[in-house]
Structure 1
Protein backbone atom coordinates (compact mmCIF):
# COMPACT_ATOMS: atom_id res chain seq x y z
CA UNK A 1 0.00 0.00 0.00
CA UNK A 2 2.79 2.43 0.94
CA UNK A 3 4.57 1.71 -2.34
CA UNK A 4 1.32 2.32 -4.26
CA UNK A 5 0.82 5.68 -2.54
CA UNK A 6 4.36 6.73 -3.44
CA UNK A 7 3.73 5.64 -7.01
CA UNK A 8 0.59 7.76 -7.23
CA UNK A 9 2.42 10.75 -5.75
CA UNK A 10 5.25 10.39 -8.23
CA UNK A 11 2.93 10.04 -11.22
CA UNK A 12 0.73 12.98 -10.28
CA UNK A 13 3.48 15.42 -9.35
CA UNK A 14 6.02 14.60 -12.02
CA UNK A 15 3.45 14.71 -14.82
CA UNK A 16 2.86 18.34 -13.91
CA UNK A 17 5.53 19.08 -16.52
CA UNK A 18 2.63 19.22 -18.95
CA UNK A 19 1.76 22.73 -17.77
CA UNK A 20 4.29 23.98 -20.29
CA UNK A 21 2.13 23.48 -23.39
CA UNK A 22 1.45 27.19 -23.70
CA UNK A 23 4.70 28.40 -22.18
CA UNK A 24 7.31 26.97 -24.58
CA UNK A 25 10.22 29.16 -25.56
CA UNK A 26 10.34 30.39 -29.14
CA UNK A 27 14.02 29.48 -29.47
CA UNK A 28 17.33 28.95 -27.71
CA UNK A 29 18.52 32.42 -26.90
CA UNK A 30 19.40 34.39 -23.82
CA UNK A 31 17.11 37.11 -25.17
CA UNK A 32 14.28 34.91 -26.47
CA UNK A 33 12.68 34.71 -23.01
CA UNK A 34 13.48 37.72 -20.76
CA UNK A 35 14.83 36.91 -17.32
CA UNK A 36 15.32 39.21 -14.32
CA UNK A 37 18.53 41.20 -14.18
CA UNK A 38 20.99 39.36 -12.01
CA UNK A 39 23.55 40.76 -9.62
CA UNK A 40 27.18 39.97 -10.47
CA UNK A 41 28.19 38.34 -7.18
CA UNK A 42 27.32 34.72 -6.42
CA UNK A 43 24.86 34.44 -3.57
CA UNK A 44 23.48 37.97 -3.69
CA UNK A 45 20.48 36.59 -5.49
CA UNK A 46 17.76 37.62 -7.87
CA UNK A 47 16.35 41.10 -7.09
CA UNK A 48 12.89 39.80 -8.08
CA UNK A 49 12.56 36.35 -6.45
CA UNK A 50 8.71 36.09 -6.66
CA UNK A 51 9.06 35.27 -10.37
CA UNK A 52 10.73 32.05 -9.32
CA UNK A 53 7.73 31.10 -7.21
CA UNK A 54 5.30 31.87 -10.04
CA UNK A 55 7.20 29.53 -12.35
CA UNK A 56 6.91 26.68 -9.88
CA UNK A 57 3.22 27.22 -9.20
CA UNK A 58 2.13 27.04 -12.84
CA UNK A 59 1.71 23.27 -12.56
CA UNK A 60 -0.82 23.51 -9.76
CA UNK A 61 -3.05 25.77 -11.85
CA UNK A 62 -3.19 23.57 -14.93
CA UNK A 63 -2.77 19.98 -13.68
CA UNK A 64 -5.74 17.80 -14.63
CA UNK A 65 -8.10 16.38 -12.05
CA UNK A 66 -7.72 12.77 -13.21
CA UNK A 67 -4.85 10.60 -14.49
CA UNK A 68 -6.53 10.61 -17.92
CA UNK A 69 -6.47 14.42 -18.06
CA UNK A 70 -2.85 14.56 -16.93
CA UNK A 71 -1.68 12.05 -19.53
CA UNK A 72 -3.70 13.76 -22.27
CA UNK A 73 -1.56 16.88 -21.90
CA UNK A 74 1.48 15.12 -23.33
CA UNK A 75 0.04 15.20 -26.85
CA UNK A 76 -0.68 18.94 -26.78
CA UNK A 77 2.76 19.72 -25.34
CA UNK A 78 4.56 17.85 -28.11
CA UNK A 79 2.33 19.45 -30.73
CA UNK A 80 3.24 22.87 -29.34
CA UNK A 81 6.96 22.08 -29.21
CA UNK A 82 7.11 21.00 -32.83
CA UNK A 83 4.89 23.90 -33.93
CA UNK A 84 6.80 26.67 -32.15
CA UNK A 85 10.29 25.36 -32.84
CA UNK A 86 12.05 24.38 -36.03
CA UNK A 87 10.23 21.15 -36.80
CA UNK A 88 12.91 19.87 -39.14
CA UNK A 89 15.74 20.69 -36.74
CA UNK A 90 14.04 19.04 -33.77
CA UNK A 91 13.34 15.93 -35.84
CA UNK A 92 16.96 15.75 -37.02
CA UNK A 93 18.18 15.71 -33.41
CA UNK A 94 16.00 12.75 -32.42
CA UNK A 95 17.30 9.22 -32.65
CA UNK A 96 15.06 6.60 -34.24
CA UNK A 97 14.52 5.20 -30.77
CA UNK A 98 13.36 8.56 -29.42
CA UNK A 99 11.10 9.18 -32.40
CA UNK A 100 9.57 5.74 -31.88
CA UNK A 101 9.01 6.56 -28.21
CA UNK A 102 7.30 9.84 -29.09
CA UNK A 103 5.06 8.06 -31.59
CA UNK A 104 4.07 5.43 -29.05
CA UNK A 105 3.35 7.79 -26.17
CA UNK A 106 1.68 10.38 -28.42
CA UNK A 107 -0.77 7.78 -29.73
CA UNK A 108 -1.58 6.72 -26.18
CA UNK A 109 -2.10 10.29 -25.02
CA UNK A 110 -4.02 11.38 -28.11
CA UNK A 111 -6.29 8.35 -28.40
CA UNK A 112 -9.52 9.17 -30.21
CA UNK A 113 -8.50 12.71 -31.16
CA UNK A 114 -7.32 14.05 -34.55
CA UNK A 115 -3.52 13.57 -34.83
CA UNK A 116 -2.63 17.26 -35.09
CA UNK A 117 1.08 16.46 -34.74
CA UNK A 118 1.02 14.59 -38.06
CA UNK A 119 -0.50 17.63 -39.77
CA UNK A 120 2.28 19.77 -38.31
CA UNK A 121 4.80 17.33 -39.76
CA UNK A 122 3.06 17.20 -43.15
CA UNK A 123 2.92 20.99 -43.49
CA UNK A 124 6.54 21.57 -42.44
CA UNK A 125 8.72 18.61 -43.38
CA UNK A 126 10.25 17.43 -46.63
CA UNK A 127 9.14 14.24 -48.36
CA UNK A 128 12.28 12.45 -47.14
CA UNK A 129 11.63 13.50 -43.54
CA UNK A 130 8.01 12.43 -43.77
CA UNK A 131 9.10 8.99 -44.94
CA UNK A 132 11.16 8.70 -41.76
CA UNK A 133 8.18 9.78 -39.66
CA UNK A 134 6.00 7.20 -41.41
CA UNK A 135 8.32 4.47 -40.16
CA UNK A 136 7.29 5.15 -36.56
CA UNK A 137 3.87 6.83 -36.75
CA UNK A 138 2.56 4.50 -39.45
CA UNK A 139 2.31 4.86 -43.22
CA UNK A 140 -1.48 5.09 -43.35
CA UNK A 141 -1.75 7.84 -40.72
CA UNK A 142 1.13 9.90 -42.12
CA UNK A 143 -0.13 9.47 -45.69
CA UNK A 144 -3.55 10.76 -44.65
CA UNK A 145 -1.94 13.80 -43.02
CA UNK A 146 0.15 14.41 -46.15
CA UNK A 147 -2.98 14.45 -48.27
CA UNK A 148 -4.59 16.92 -45.86
CA UNK A 149 -1.75 19.28 -45.10
CA UNK A 150 1.33 18.90 -47.33
CA UNK A 151 1.99 20.96 -50.43
CA UNK A 152 1.22 19.19 -53.73
CA UNK A 153 4.92 18.89 -54.59
CA UNK A 154 5.81 17.36 -51.22
CA UNK A 155 2.81 15.01 -51.39
CA UNK A 156 3.87 13.79 -54.85
CA UNK A 157 7.46 13.14 -53.77
CA UNK A 158 6.34 11.47 -50.54
CA UNK A 159 3.97 9.13 -52.36
CA UNK A 160 6.72 8.16 -54.79
CA UNK A 161 9.18 7.42 -51.97
CA UNK A 162 6.62 5.28 -50.15
CA UNK A 163 5.87 3.36 -53.35
CA UNK A 164 9.60 2.78 -53.80
CA UNK A 165 9.77 1.04 -50.43
CA UNK A 166 11.78 3.72 -48.62
CA UNK A 167 9.79 3.54 -45.38
CA UNK A 168 11.87 1.74 -42.76
CA UNK A 169 10.41 0.62 -39.44
CA UNK A 170 13.09 0.95 -36.72
CA UNK A 171 13.80 -2.14 -34.68
CA UNK A 172 13.39 -0.01 -31.55
CA UNK A 173 9.66 0.67 -31.88
CA UNK A 174 8.69 -1.82 -29.18
CA UNK A 175 7.97 -0.36 -25.71
CA UNK A 176 10.95 -0.13 -23.41
CA UNK A 177 11.37 -2.51 -20.53
CA UNK A 178 11.86 -1.09 -17.08
CA UNK A 179 10.70 -1.22 -13.49
CA UNK A 180 6.99 -0.60 -12.91
CA UNK A 181 5.96 0.37 -16.48
CA UNK A 182 3.02 2.57 -15.44
CA UNK A 183 5.15 4.82 -13.25
CA UNK A 184 8.08 4.56 -15.63
CA UNK A 185 5.95 5.91 -18.47
CA UNK A 186 5.32 9.14 -16.60
CA UNK A 187 9.02 9.99 -16.48
CA UNK A 188 9.44 8.86 -20.08
CA UNK A 189 6.74 11.33 -21.07
CA UNK A 190 8.61 14.12 -19.32
CA UNK A 191 11.89 13.12 -20.96
CA UNK A 192 10.30 13.03 -24.43
CA UNK A 193 8.57 16.35 -23.73
CA UNK A 194 11.89 18.01 -22.89
CA UNK A 195 13.53 16.22 -25.82
CA UNK A 196 11.32 18.15 -28.25
CA UNK A 197 11.78 21.51 -26.49
CA UNK A 198 14.46 24.09 -27.42
CA UNK A 199 17.11 23.24 -24.81
CA UNK A 200 16.27 19.55 -24.46
CA UNK A 201 16.36 19.05 -28.22
CA UNK A 202 20.08 19.88 -28.17
CA UNK A 203 20.73 16.30 -27.11
CA UNK A 204 19.64 13.37 -24.98
CA UNK A 205 21.87 14.50 -22.12
CA UNK A 206 20.20 17.91 -21.93
CA UNK A 207 16.72 16.37 -21.79
CA UNK A 208 17.81 13.83 -19.18
CA UNK A 209 19.37 16.57 -17.07
CA UNK A 210 16.17 18.60 -17.23
CA UNK A 211 14.13 15.51 -16.34
CA UNK A 212 16.16 14.85 -13.18
CA UNK A 213 16.04 18.52 -12.16
CA UNK A 214 12.30 18.74 -12.76
CA UNK A 215 11.61 15.54 -10.84
CA UNK A 216 13.82 16.63 -7.95
CA UNK A 217 12.26 20.08 -7.88
CA UNK A 218 8.61 19.07 -8.06
CA UNK A 219 8.37 15.83 -6.10
CA UNK A 220 7.88 16.26 -2.37
CA UNK A 221 10.58 14.80 -0.15
CA UNK A 222 9.06 11.45 0.76
CA UNK A 223 10.60 8.13 1.67
CA UNK A 224 11.46 6.09 -1.40
CA UNK A 225 10.61 8.72 -4.02
CA UNK A 226 14.27 9.47 -4.75
CA UNK A 227 14.93 5.79 -5.30
CA UNK A 228 12.01 5.53 -7.72
CA UNK A 229 13.31 8.50 -9.69
CA UNK A 230 16.75 6.89 -9.72
CA UNK A 231 15.53 3.57 -11.08
CA UNK A 232 13.23 5.07 -13.69
CA UNK A 233 15.61 7.76 -14.95
CA UNK A 234 18.36 5.15 -14.88
CA UNK A 235 16.31 3.09 -17.32
CA UNK A 236 15.88 6.16 -19.55
CA UNK A 237 19.63 6.78 -19.54
CA UNK A 238 20.38 3.18 -20.43
CA UNK A 239 17.78 3.25 -23.21
CA UNK A 240 18.37 6.66 -24.76
CA UNK A 241 21.94 7.68 -23.81
CA UNK A 242 24.04 4.54 -23.23
CA UNK A 243 27.33 6.45 -23.44
CA UNK A 244 26.23 8.54 -20.44
CA UNK A 245 25.30 5.32 -18.63
CA UNK A 246 28.92 4.18 -18.84
CA UNK A 247 30.28 7.59 -17.83
CA UNK A 248 27.96 7.98 -14.84
CA UNK A 249 28.48 4.59 -13.29
CA UNK A 250 28.29 1.72 -15.73
CA UNK A 251 26.22 -0.40 -13.35
CA UNK A 252 22.57 -0.22 -12.36
CA UNK A 253 23.43 0.39 -8.71
CA UNK A 254 25.94 3.11 -9.56
CA UNK A 255 23.66 5.03 -11.91
CA UNK A 256 20.58 4.71 -9.70
CA UNK A 257 22.51 5.98 -6.68
CA UNK A 258 23.88 9.04 -8.50
CA UNK A 259 20.51 9.99 -9.99
CA UNK A 260 18.78 9.41 -6.65
CA UNK A 261 21.31 11.58 -4.81
CA UNK A 262 21.03 14.32 -7.44
CA UNK A 263 17.23 14.40 -7.23
CA UNK A 264 17.20 14.34 -3.43
CA UNK A 265 19.75 17.14 -3.19
CA UNK A 266 17.54 19.34 -5.38
CA UNK A 267 14.40 18.46 -3.43
CA UNK A 268 16.01 19.40 -0.15
CA UNK A 269 17.57 22.75 -1.14
CA UNK A 270 16.57 26.27 -2.13
CA UNK A 271 18.05 29.39 -3.70
CA UNK A 272 21.77 29.46 -4.44
CA UNK A 273 22.37 25.95 -3.07
CA UNK A 274 19.56 24.58 -5.22
CA UNK A 275 21.20 26.11 -8.30
CA UNK A 276 24.51 24.54 -7.32
CA UNK A 277 22.80 21.16 -6.96
CA UNK A 278 21.05 21.57 -10.32
CA UNK A 279 24.44 22.38 -11.86
CA UNK A 280 25.90 19.22 -10.30
CA UNK A 281 23.06 17.14 -11.76
CA UNK A 282 23.73 18.72 -15.15
CA UNK A 283 27.38 17.72 -14.72
CA UNK A 284 26.47 14.05 -14.99
CA UNK A 285 25.88 14.75 -18.70
CA UNK A 286 28.82 17.14 -19.21
CA UNK A 287 26.81 20.32 -18.48
CA UNK A 288 24.62 20.51 -21.61
CA UNK A 289 22.05 22.86 -20.04
CA UNK A 290 24.63 25.04 -18.29
CA UNK A 291 26.58 25.56 -21.49
CA UNK A 292 23.51 26.24 -23.65
CA UNK A 293 22.38 29.74 -24.56
CA UNK A 294 19.52 29.37 -22.08
CA UNK A 295 20.78 27.91 -18.78
CA UNK A 296 17.35 28.60 -17.26
CA UNK A 297 16.16 25.56 -19.25
CA UNK A 298 12.90 24.90 -20.99
CA UNK A 299 10.03 26.67 -19.22
CA UNK A 300 12.52 27.79 -16.54
CA UNK A 301 12.96 24.20 -15.37
CA UNK A 302 16.52 25.00 -14.27
CA UNK A 303 15.74 28.50 -13.01
CA UNK A 304 18.10 28.38 -10.01
CA UNK A 305 20.94 27.06 -12.14
CA UNK A 306 20.49 29.96 -14.56
CA UNK A 307 20.28 32.49 -11.73
CA UNK A 308 23.47 31.15 -10.12
CA UNK A 309 25.27 31.17 -13.44
CA UNK A 310 24.25 34.78 -13.95
CA UNK A 311 25.54 35.55 -10.47
CA UNK A 312 28.94 34.07 -11.35
CA UNK A 313 28.68 31.03 -9.08
CA UNK A 314 30.38 28.70 -11.56
CA UNK A 315 33.17 30.97 -12.84
Structure 2
Protein backbone atom coordinates (compact mmCIF):
# COMPACT_ATOMS: atom_id res chain seq x y z
CA UNK A 1 0.00 0.00 0.00
CA UNK A 2 1.38 3.41 -0.99
CA UNK A 3 1.14 6.03 1.78
CA UNK A 4 2.97 8.79 -0.04
CA UNK A 5 1.10 12.09 0.01
CA UNK A 6 -0.63 13.33 -3.11
CA UNK A 7 0.02 16.82 -4.47
CA UNK A 8 -3.30 17.97 -3.02
CA UNK A 9 -2.44 16.56 0.40
CA UNK A 10 0.94 18.26 0.38
CA UNK A 11 -0.74 21.52 -0.58
CA UNK A 12 -3.24 21.11 2.25
CA UNK A 13 -0.48 20.45 4.77
CA UNK A 14 1.45 23.49 3.59
CA UNK A 15 -1.68 25.62 3.68
CA UNK A 16 -2.43 24.66 7.28
CA UNK A 17 1.22 25.23 8.22
CA UNK A 18 1.17 28.69 6.64
CA UNK A 19 -2.12 29.57 8.36
CA UNK A 20 -0.81 28.56 11.76
CA UNK A 21 2.56 30.23 11.21
CA UNK A 22 0.79 33.49 10.48
CA UNK A 23 -1.78 33.25 13.24
CA UNK A 24 -0.14 31.14 15.96
CA UNK A 25 3.59 31.35 15.47
CA UNK A 26 6.09 31.32 18.29
CA UNK A 27 5.38 34.92 19.29
CA UNK A 28 1.68 34.12 19.67
CA UNK A 29 2.50 30.97 21.63
CA UNK A 30 4.70 32.90 24.05
CA UNK A 31 2.08 35.65 24.36
CA UNK A 32 -0.58 33.07 25.26
CA UNK A 33 1.82 31.55 27.77
CA UNK A 34 2.54 34.95 29.34
CA UNK A 35 -1.19 35.69 29.62
CA UNK A 36 -1.78 32.39 31.35
CA UNK A 37 1.18 33.03 33.64
CA UNK A 38 -0.08 36.49 34.63
CA UNK A 39 -3.65 35.32 35.23
CA UNK A 40 -2.48 32.39 37.29
CA UNK A 41 0.05 34.38 39.30
CA UNK A 42 -2.27 34.76 42.30
CA UNK A 43 -1.07 31.48 43.76
CA UNK A 44 -2.45 28.10 42.71
CA UNK A 45 -4.05 25.67 45.13
CA UNK A 46 -4.48 21.94 44.93
CA UNK A 47 -8.12 22.38 43.88
CA UNK A 48 -7.12 24.41 40.80
CA UNK A 49 -8.37 27.76 42.17
CA UNK A 50 -6.53 30.85 43.31
CA UNK A 51 -6.94 32.54 46.67
CA UNK A 52 -10.09 34.37 45.54
CA UNK A 53 -11.77 31.23 44.21
CA UNK A 54 -11.01 32.00 40.56
CA UNK A 55 -9.15 29.81 38.10
CA UNK A 56 -5.49 29.38 38.90
CA UNK A 57 -4.52 28.06 35.46
CA UNK A 58 -5.21 31.41 33.76
CA UNK A 59 -6.02 29.77 30.40
CA UNK A 60 -8.38 31.71 28.16
CA UNK A 61 -9.17 30.51 24.66
CA UNK A 62 -8.44 32.90 21.80
CA UNK A 63 -11.91 33.18 20.30
CA UNK A 64 -10.67 35.17 17.33
CA UNK A 65 -8.25 32.41 16.39
CA UNK A 66 -10.96 29.81 16.97
CA UNK A 67 -13.31 31.56 14.55
CA UNK A 68 -10.52 31.86 11.99
CA UNK A 69 -9.92 28.12 12.21
CA UNK A 70 -13.63 27.59 11.64
CA UNK A 71 -13.67 29.95 8.67
CA UNK A 72 -10.65 28.15 7.18
CA UNK A 73 -12.53 24.84 7.37
CA UNK A 74 -10.34 23.21 10.02
CA UNK A 75 -13.31 21.77 11.91
CA UNK A 76 -15.32 20.98 8.77
CA UNK A 77 -12.60 19.15 6.86
CA UNK A 78 -14.49 15.85 6.78
CA UNK A 79 -17.97 17.25 6.28
CA UNK A 80 -19.38 16.81 2.76
CA UNK A 81 -19.41 19.90 0.58
CA UNK A 82 -23.19 19.65 0.31
CA UNK A 83 -23.32 20.12 4.09
CA UNK A 84 -21.08 23.16 4.06
CA UNK A 85 -17.85 21.26 4.68
CA UNK A 86 -14.59 20.84 2.81
CA UNK A 87 -15.37 17.30 1.64
CA UNK A 88 -12.05 15.69 2.52
CA UNK A 89 -11.28 12.49 4.39
CA UNK A 90 -9.58 11.18 7.49
CA UNK A 91 -6.05 11.24 5.99
CA UNK A 92 -6.40 14.96 5.34
CA UNK A 93 -7.70 15.58 8.87
CA UNK A 94 -4.66 13.74 10.23
CA UNK A 95 -2.36 16.06 8.26
CA UNK A 96 -4.12 19.12 9.66
CA UNK A 97 -3.92 17.88 13.25
CA UNK A 98 -0.27 16.98 12.78
CA UNK A 99 0.38 20.64 11.97
CA UNK A 100 -1.63 21.71 15.01
CA UNK A 101 0.59 19.50 17.15
CA UNK A 102 3.74 21.05 15.72
CA UNK A 103 2.83 24.52 17.00
CA UNK A 104 1.12 23.40 20.24
CA UNK A 105 -2.16 24.93 19.11
CA UNK A 106 -4.37 25.14 22.23
CA UNK A 107 -8.05 24.37 22.60
CA UNK A 108 -10.45 21.41 22.34
CA UNK A 109 -9.63 20.89 18.68
CA UNK A 110 -10.56 17.22 18.46
CA UNK A 111 -13.88 17.47 20.29
CA UNK A 112 -14.96 20.43 18.15
CA UNK A 113 -13.84 18.73 14.93
CA UNK A 114 -15.74 15.55 15.76
CA UNK A 115 -18.84 17.56 16.67
CA UNK A 116 -18.93 19.42 13.34
CA UNK A 117 -22.08 18.48 11.49
CA UNK A 118 -23.81 17.23 14.65
CA UNK A 119 -23.60 20.32 16.87
CA UNK A 120 -24.84 23.57 15.30
CA UNK A 121 -22.03 26.08 14.97
CA UNK A 122 -19.22 23.63 15.77
CA UNK A 123 -17.92 23.75 12.20
CA UNK A 124 -17.68 27.53 12.24
CA UNK A 125 -16.37 28.39 15.70
CA UNK A 126 -18.51 27.14 18.58
CA UNK A 127 -16.29 25.61 21.25
CA UNK A 128 -17.26 22.01 21.99
CA UNK A 129 -15.83 19.80 24.73
CA UNK A 130 -16.75 16.26 25.67
CA UNK A 131 -16.67 14.27 28.86
CA UNK A 132 -16.39 11.06 26.82
CA UNK A 133 -12.69 10.68 27.61
CA UNK A 134 -13.71 9.41 31.01
CA UNK A 135 -17.32 9.78 31.93
CA UNK A 136 -18.95 9.61 35.35
CA UNK A 137 -18.56 5.83 35.46
CA UNK A 138 -14.82 5.87 34.91
CA UNK A 139 -13.57 9.24 36.06
CA UNK A 140 -11.29 11.02 33.61
CA UNK A 141 -10.08 14.41 32.47
CA UNK A 142 -11.93 17.09 30.52
CA UNK A 143 -9.95 19.77 28.73
CA UNK A 144 -11.15 23.37 28.42
CA UNK A 145 -14.43 22.83 30.25
CA UNK A 146 -14.75 26.45 31.42
CA UNK A 147 -14.42 27.74 27.84
CA UNK A 148 -17.06 25.45 26.32
CA UNK A 149 -20.09 26.72 24.44
CA UNK A 150 -21.37 23.14 24.27
CA UNK A 151 -20.56 20.24 26.59
CA UNK A 152 -21.24 16.74 25.28
CA UNK A 153 -21.81 14.12 27.95
CA UNK A 154 -22.15 14.48 31.70
CA UNK A 155 -19.53 16.77 33.27
CA UNK A 156 -21.43 17.29 36.52
CA UNK A 157 -19.25 17.47 39.58
CA UNK A 158 -16.05 17.97 37.60
CA UNK A 159 -13.28 19.43 39.78
CA UNK A 160 -10.67 21.85 38.39
CA UNK A 161 -7.04 20.80 38.50
CA UNK A 162 -3.78 22.70 38.35
CA UNK A 163 -2.61 21.56 34.88
CA UNK A 164 0.93 20.44 34.13
CA UNK A 165 0.59 22.11 30.71
CA UNK A 166 -0.02 25.84 31.28
CA UNK A 167 -2.06 26.02 28.07
CA UNK A 168 -4.42 23.11 28.73
CA UNK A 169 -6.85 23.67 31.62
CA UNK A 170 -8.17 20.42 33.06
CA UNK A 171 -11.11 19.19 35.13
CA UNK A 172 -11.36 15.74 36.67
CA UNK A 173 -14.68 13.91 36.50
CA UNK A 174 -15.89 12.07 39.59
CA UNK A 175 -16.12 8.31 39.83
CA UNK A 176 -19.78 7.68 40.60
CA UNK A 177 -20.35 4.04 39.71
CA UNK A 178 -18.38 2.47 42.53
CA UNK A 179 -16.06 0.87 39.99
CA UNK A 180 -12.38 1.73 39.90
CA UNK A 181 -11.35 4.07 37.03
CA UNK A 182 -10.75 2.27 33.75
CA UNK A 183 -13.40 -0.48 33.89
CA UNK A 184 -14.93 -0.92 30.47
CA UNK A 185 -12.29 1.32 28.90
CA UNK A 186 -11.57 -0.95 25.95
CA UNK A 187 -15.23 -1.31 24.98
CA UNK A 188 -15.70 2.46 25.19
CA UNK A 189 -12.53 3.08 23.19
CA UNK A 190 -13.96 1.13 20.24
CA UNK A 191 -16.81 3.55 19.57
CA UNK A 192 -16.26 5.47 16.32
CA UNK A 193 -15.71 8.85 17.97
CA UNK A 194 -13.27 7.36 20.49
CA UNK A 195 -11.28 5.72 17.71
CA UNK A 196 -11.13 8.93 15.69
CA UNK A 197 -10.21 10.95 18.77
CA UNK A 198 -7.36 8.54 19.50
CA UNK A 199 -6.07 8.75 15.93
CA UNK A 200 -6.23 12.55 15.84
CA UNK A 201 -4.44 12.64 19.19
CA UNK A 202 -1.75 10.44 17.64
CA UNK A 203 -1.50 12.94 14.78
CA UNK A 204 -0.96 15.80 17.25
CA UNK A 205 1.66 13.75 19.07
CA UNK A 206 3.38 13.04 15.76
CA UNK A 207 3.53 16.74 14.92
CA UNK A 208 4.99 17.56 18.31
CA UNK A 209 7.54 14.74 18.06
CA UNK A 210 8.67 15.91 14.62
CA UNK A 211 9.00 19.48 15.85
CA UNK A 212 11.08 18.57 18.91
CA UNK A 213 13.36 16.53 16.65
CA UNK A 214 13.86 19.61 14.46
CA UNK A 215 14.47 21.83 17.51
CA UNK A 216 17.07 19.40 18.86
CA UNK A 217 18.94 19.23 15.55
CA UNK A 218 18.89 23.02 15.14
CA UNK A 219 20.27 23.48 18.64
CA UNK A 220 22.92 20.81 18.16
CA UNK A 221 24.14 22.60 15.03
CA UNK A 222 24.40 26.05 16.59
CA UNK A 223 25.23 25.53 20.27
CA UNK A 224 28.98 25.31 20.84
CA UNK A 225 30.96 23.75 23.66
CA UNK A 226 34.74 23.44 23.79
CA UNK A 227 34.96 25.40 20.55
CA UNK A 228 32.79 23.10 18.45
CA UNK A 229 29.04 22.51 17.85
CA UNK A 230 27.60 20.03 20.33
CA UNK A 231 26.25 18.09 17.37
CA UNK A 232 29.80 16.95 16.76
CA UNK A 233 29.68 14.87 19.94
CA UNK A 234 28.57 11.29 19.52
CA UNK A 235 26.23 11.27 22.53
CA UNK A 236 24.25 14.18 21.10
CA UNK A 237 24.19 12.58 17.65
CA UNK A 238 22.73 9.41 19.17
CA UNK A 239 19.97 11.37 20.91
CA UNK A 240 18.98 13.10 17.67
CA UNK A 241 19.15 9.85 15.70
CA UNK A 242 16.96 8.08 18.25
CA UNK A 243 14.38 10.86 18.01
CA UNK A 244 14.20 10.53 14.24
CA UNK A 245 14.05 6.73 14.52
CA UNK A 246 10.90 7.07 16.62
CA UNK A 247 9.27 9.83 14.53
CA UNK A 248 9.36 8.07 11.17
CA UNK A 249 7.79 4.73 12.23
CA UNK A 250 5.13 6.73 14.10
CA UNK A 251 4.47 8.77 10.97
CA UNK A 252 4.06 5.64 8.84
CA UNK A 253 1.73 4.10 11.42
CA UNK A 254 -0.43 7.22 11.81
CA UNK A 255 -0.75 7.73 8.05
CA UNK A 256 -1.56 4.05 7.52
CA UNK A 257 -4.22 4.09 10.25
CA UNK A 258 -5.82 7.14 8.66
CA UNK A 259 -6.28 5.11 5.47
CA UNK A 260 -7.46 1.84 7.01
CA UNK A 261 -9.30 3.26 10.08
CA UNK A 262 -8.80 -0.20 11.60
CA UNK A 263 -8.96 -0.24 15.43
CA UNK A 264 -5.76 -2.27 15.74
CA UNK A 265 -3.93 0.05 13.35
CA UNK A 266 -5.12 3.06 15.32
CA UNK A 267 -3.99 1.45 18.58
CA UNK A 268 -0.52 0.78 17.15
CA UNK A 269 -0.29 4.31 15.78
CA UNK A 270 -1.29 5.79 19.13
CA UNK A 271 1.33 3.79 21.03
CA UNK A 272 4.10 4.77 18.63
CA UNK A 273 3.07 8.43 18.49
CA UNK A 274 2.75 8.77 22.28
CA UNK A 275 6.21 7.27 22.71
CA UNK A 276 7.72 9.47 19.99
CA UNK A 277 6.25 12.62 21.53
CA UNK A 278 7.13 11.96 25.16
CA UNK A 279 10.55 10.38 24.68
CA UNK A 280 11.40 12.81 21.89
CA UNK A 281 10.67 15.81 24.11
CA UNK A 282 12.76 14.27 26.90
CA UNK A 283 15.66 13.69 24.53
CA UNK A 284 15.31 17.22 23.20
CA UNK A 285 15.63 18.48 26.77
CA UNK A 286 18.83 16.48 27.14
CA UNK A 287 20.24 18.02 23.97
CA UNK A 288 19.48 21.49 25.35
CA UNK A 289 20.88 20.73 28.78
CA UNK A 290 19.67 22.83 31.71
CA UNK A 291 18.40 25.63 29.45
CA UNK A 292 15.72 23.30 28.07
CA UNK A 293 13.91 23.41 31.40
CA UNK A 294 13.76 27.20 31.56
CA UNK A 295 10.51 29.12 31.02
CA UNK A 296 11.98 30.83 27.94
CA UNK A 297 12.44 27.52 26.13
CA UNK A 298 9.62 25.85 24.20
CA UNK A 299 10.92 22.32 24.76
CA UNK A 300 9.29 21.80 28.15
CA UNK A 301 5.96 22.91 26.67
CA UNK A 302 6.08 20.06 24.15
CA UNK A 303 6.81 17.57 26.93
CA UNK A 304 3.98 18.85 29.12
CA UNK A 305 1.46 18.81 26.26
CA UNK A 306 2.59 15.31 25.27
CA UNK A 307 2.00 14.14 28.85
CA UNK A 308 -1.52 15.58 28.81
CA UNK A 309 -2.36 13.94 25.48
CA UNK A 310 -1.30 10.52 26.78
CA UNK A 311 -4.19 10.72 29.27
CA UNK A 312 -6.85 10.99 26.58
CA UNK A 313 -9.01 8.07 25.52
CA UNK A 314 -7.10 5.42 23.63
CA UNK A 315 -3.94 5.85 25.68
CA UNK A 316 -1.32 3.21 26.39
CA UNK A 317 -3.42 0.74 28.39
CA UNK A 318 -6.40 0.82 26.02
CA UNK A 319 -4.20 0.59 22.94
CA UNK A 320 -2.24 -2.33 24.36
CA UNK A 321 -5.48 -4.14 25.20
CA UNK A 322 -6.81 -3.49 21.69
CA UNK A 323 -3.68 -4.96 20.12
CA UNK A 324 -3.74 -7.93 22.49
CA UNK A 325 -7.37 -8.64 21.60
CA UNK A 326 -6.51 -8.42 17.92
CA UNK A 327 -3.62 -10.85 18.31
CA UNK A 328 -5.72 -13.31 20.29
CA UNK A 329 -8.52 -13.13 17.72
CA UNK A 330 -5.99 -13.76 14.95
CA UNK A 331 -4.74 -16.94 16.57
CA UNK A 332 -8.16 -18.33 17.56
Task: State the TM-score, normalizing by the size of structure 1.
Answer: 0.27
In proportion to residue count, which structure has more helix? 1
In proportion to residue count, which structure has more strand? 2
